[in-house]
Structure 1
Amino acid sequence: MAQQHLDPTDPTVVPADAVADYLRARATEFLRALRTHRETGGAAAAGAEESTDAALALRRSARRISGTLHTFRPLLDADWSESLRPELAWLSGTLGREHAYAARLHRLVTALNRLSGATNFPTQTAIPTRTTTASTGSRSTTAASGGSRSATSASAVGSRSAGAERVGTADPGTAGPGTRPPAAPDRGNLTVGAAKAGALLDRQLTLARTRAHSAALQALGSSRFHAVADSVAVLASEVPLTPTAPTADLRPLAAAAHDRLRDAVTGLPLHTAGHPYNAEALIHGLSPDTAPHPQDAPWHQVRLLLRLHRYALEVLYPEAVPVDVRLLAAGEALNRHRDASEAASAAAAAARTPRIAPATAYALGVLHADQRHEVEASRFAFQQSWQKEAVSTS
């Protein structure tokens, strides 16, 4: 794209120095978190918790550096930025899996407790979720209806995995974790299988979490990670800008990030998502395909682009990013969408475990349908917040 020359008299121009300062600051945070992780790694109890926080801080810094390199790549040395970006993405993904599995287990067990009306399973401990709890308004959206669709989806998932007949109906009630009063279905068959379903999920996701933890420790000790850390250390003192960068304005590149977000949202079925209980998000529950439903992918892409847009704003406004309540609500809705989609996939995967009891498969099917309802509610919440933004900016 054509570079815009700086006008010294224009106070709104954002020079390339801003992106250099931002990258240096994020690189410094990365190195600080790495030092903390090394100092606390192998310690027990409180030290282990501090080490976990340091790993999350490493991931947060890596995401921001990678996103900034993507948005402002015309101003950065191409070979250097294109070689570093995939390595940062690898690191961020590796460090995030352990926390993701822990949050997914907590979400699913909480939903099982609510759906069955049971107390917490004794094997479970409280684990913070990845996102803020859904607002009361969006939770009540799913609570208004949808029982028959949930029972149908539950039967589809359960019968595929165990070859069992559906022996009752269940209304999973509201979608997602929260403090809503439990629904009042015929819980006989659901309660029978809920405890075993929770134990199965605990075994599978705890094993996955343990493997992710080992993979993260192995990654942090690898030569590949040391190469990434060396590159970030160089970035903390010197940002390789292009020769034309000093004459460029950052605003067009940040605006392009917003345009990509807007174009991606245009491709979403917002008209359908604007009607509660449209059941589009539940189609995956009736499909024999074990892969994630392709209808989720565009929403995940919008979530990624929204995050890149937010990082670009952090570069433009280093002191404090202007608060946009509508975009915050949209981001929270997409985070819930991601969490619910992944939780539904985990429930479906558990339901496909060979030789599980019919009641266990049925409970997992109801749980799967409950999370797909949350996917639907999250899409509705995003549509509502995004439409408000469109009206306010038109």
Structure 2
Amino acid sequence: MAQQHLDPTDPTAEASPGLPVPPEQGGAPLGDALAGYLRGQATEFLRALRLHRETGGNGGGARGFPGAAGDGARESVDAARALRRSARRISGSLHTFRPLLDAGWSEEMRPELAWLSGTLGLEHAYEARLERLLLALHRLSGATALPVRAPDAVAAGGRAVRTARGGGAVPDGAGGPAGATATTERGTLTVGAAKAGALLERQLTLARTRAHSTALQALGSARFHAVADKVALLASEVPLTAAAPGTGLGPLAAAAEERLTDAVAALPLVTAGHPYNAEALVHGLSPEPSPHPQDGPWHQVRLLLRLYRYAREVLHGGDAPLDVRLLTAGQALNRHRDASEAAAAAAQAARTPRITPATAYALGVLHADQRHEVEAARFAFQQCWQKHPVGTSWTREEAV
């Protein structure tokens, strides 16, 4: 999804005692450090764009974009990921440190970068969601061998599913005889699970194909070229305000930390401390396809945590340490997001007209399983957030 943009930061906010600052600078760095960070991210963006074009990704058809076949596919996947990574960091920094940047330029850049990052991420999101759901279905069916998606299933838009040792294709959930089976290492998967997997593969492969086409069109559009031109200018000149070079970045980064802390404090962590949250299942298969009412605040915390991480990167330059709590909390919130979206996809598939009762039942079980995964991720977040105070332990793993 495209990155949301929050309320303006408060440049007068007090520095937080939990926010480490580089000791060699005698305090928080000044606006020049922000300019250097943005120039560095812009350079990374342009380097990734050049690699993407060299591997055939710029309007060169499916060969050069994530999920496609071809000699340059892997490099193009990495290039697209690097493009998203730089776009997110530039956009996040423009938000957190907005008072130090030219207002008109910043307001024009942020939504364009969010559009680009969201567009490039959709195809991968659909692919990962499908893999998650198929593995969950396989686990819930009680089979021991992992499913292997048949190449012809992908080519045909997901109309078949094969298991690790199975040789027969299973019709999708909208048709086929009631007694159809799929062979596995131990015997027979339930008909409902097999058909539910075929239906999910058909729907999510179609969505992934459309996202692939949308991304290719976006990379060849005048809108994207305008964004790339502005990033190229940013690599050489950052439009800071007149007062920015002498203004400390600490208060603005501390404001980002405070917004994160306040959002976490507003989460229902007491509910997340229980192993079973029946209320979380109430709205799952309702006719209303709106997002789950409990998920929004958690998604917001995930966004705020990311913005705070980026603010720390600005303060520390290229050597930003990651607090163990931020790392673990981010992983838990990523799992929460993935399970929430997977549950929504299962619920959407269950609303497909004319599916068999066995298929609908399997999708309902799958939906409940993913909602339990949501609750497990919330519990993991609660445990890590309350256990580790900020700044107690550090790790040098790569931030993505």
- Report the TM range for the smaller structure's normalisation: 0.7 to 0.9
Partner of 1:389: 388
Give how far 1:286 is off. Answer: 5.8
Greater shift after overlay, 329-338 or 282-291?
A: 282-291
C-alpha contact (below 8 Å) 1:281/1:375 kept by paired residues? no
Alignment check: 8 A CA contact 1:303 1:334 kept: yes
Q: Give the structure 2 partner of residue 201 of structure 1.
A: 200
Q: Which residue of 2 aligns with 1:91?
A: 116
1:25 pairs, out of 14, 35, 40, with: 40
Change in CA separation of 1:26 and 1:124 when aligned onto 2, cut-off 3 Å: farther
| Contact 1:277 1:376 survives alignment (8 Å) | yes
Q: Considering only aligned residues, what root-mean-square deviation do their CA atoms show, in Å?
A: 2.3
Supply the distance in 2 between the matched residues of 1:309 and 1:79 (Cα, whole angstroms). 23
String of CA shifts for 1:246-281, please: whole Å, max 9, x gaps. Answer: 120001100000000011111110121122223343
Within 5 Å, give how 1:90-109 maps onto structure 2: 90-109=115-134
Q: Of the candidates 67, 70, 94, which is equivalent to residue 69 of structure 1? A: 94
Residue of structure 2 in register with 1:260 after alignment: 259
Aligned partners of 1:84, 1:278: CA distance in 2, in Å? Answer: 41
Letter in 2 for 1:18: A
Alignment of structure 1 residues 297-376 onto 2, 5 Å: 297-376=296-375
Q: Report the CA distance shift for 1:391/1:16 in structure 2 as closer, same or farther (over 3 A).
A: closer
Q: Relative to 1, partners in 2 of residues 1:103 and 1:10: Cα closer, same or farther, differing over 3 Å?
A: closer
Deviation at 1:388, TM superposition (A): 1.5
- Give, as a single letter, the amino acid of the residue that structure 2 aligns with 1:87: E
Q: What TM-score results when the alignment is normalised by the length of structure 2?
A: 0.78
Give the equivalent residue in structure 2 for 1:210: 209
Structure 1 residues 228 and 364: alpha-carbon distance in aligned structure 2, compared to 1, 3 A threshold:
same
Taking a change above 3 Å as real, the CA distance of residues 3 and 291 of structure 1, as seen in their structure-2 partners, is closer
Per-residue CA deviations over 1:328-387 (Å, capped at 9, x if unaligned) read 111111000000000000011111111011111111110000000000111111111111
Amino acid aligned to 1:30: F
Aligned residue in 2 for 1:250: 249
2:122 paired with 1:123: no
Are 2:195 and 1:230 aligned? no
Q: Secondary structure at the match of 1:285?
A: coil
Q: Secondary structure at the match of 2:322?
A: coil
Amino acid at match of 1:94: T
AA aligned to 1:203 is R
**Taking structure 1 as reference, are residues 271 and 365 closer, same or farther at Cα in structure 2, changes over 3 Å only?**
same
1:353–1:3 Cα change, 3 Å: closer
Structure 1 residues 105 and 87: CA distance shift in structure 2, 3 A: same
- Tell whether the 8 Å contact from 1:337 to 1:374 is kept in structure 2 after alignment: yes
1:16 and 2:6 matched: no
Offset, 1:285: 2.6
In 1, the alpha carbon distance for the partners of 2:225 and 2:48 equals 14
Residue 51 of structure 2: which of 36, 49, 55 is its match?
Answer: 36
Given that 2:92 and 2:307 are in contact with CA atoms closer than 8 Å, whether structure 1 keeps it comes out as: yes
Cα deviation, residue 91, structure 1: 0.4
Q: Look up the match of 2:274.
A: 275
Closer, same or farther in 2 for the Cα pair 1:323/1:59, shift >3 Å?
closer
Look up the equivalent residue of 1:375 and give its one-letter code: V
CA contact (8 A) 2:28 2:315 kept: no
Give the whole-Å Cα distance in 2 for the aligned partners of 1:59 and 1:216. Answer: 12
Aligned to 2:159: none
* 1:284 aligned counterpart, secondary structure: coil
Determine helix, strand or coil for the equivalent of 2:149. coil
TM-score (normalizing by structure 1): 0.79
Q: Does the 8 A contact of 1:280 with 1:376 survive in 2?
A: no
1:188-231 Cα offsets, whole Å, 9 max, x none, are 9x822111111111111111101000000000000000000000
Query: What letter is aligned with 1:40?
Result: T
Cα deviation, residue 50, structure 1: 1.4
Give the counterpart letter for 1:32 in structure 2.
R
Structure 1 counterpart of 2:72:
47
Q: Could you tell me which residue of structure 1 aligns to residue 294 of structure 2?
A: 295
Distance 2:134 2:208 in 1: 15
1:117 aligned partner, one-letter code: G
1:291 positional shift: 1.4
Aligned counterparts of 1:198 and 1:10: Cα–Cα separation in 2: 56
Shift of 1:29: 0.6
Distance 1:382 1:121 in 2: 30
Name the structure 1 match of 2:84. Answer: 59
CA distance in 2, matches of 1:56, 1:319: 19
Distance apart, 1:390 and its partner CA = 4.9
CA contact (8 A) 1:121 1:195 kept: no
SS at match of 1:290: coil
**Structure 2: stretches of 5+ with no match in the other structure:** 1-10, 15-23, 64-68, 152-172, 175-186, 393-400
Unmatched tracts of structure 1, length 5 or more? 126-160, 163-186
Whether the 8 Å contact between 1:29 and 1:61 is mirrored in structure 2 is: yes
1:82-106 deviation per Cα after TM superposition (whole angstroms, max 9, x unaligned): 0000000000000000000000000
Is the alpha carbon distance of 1:10 and 1:46 closer, same or farther for their aligned partners in structure 2, counting shifts above 3 Å? closer
Q: Is the 1:3–1:248 Cα contact (8 Å) retained in structure 2? A: no
Instruction: For residue 2 of structure 1, report the CA deviation from its aligned partner.
Output: 4.2
Please give the alpha-carbon distance, in whole angstroms, between the structure 1 residues aligned to 2:355 and 2:25. Answer: 68
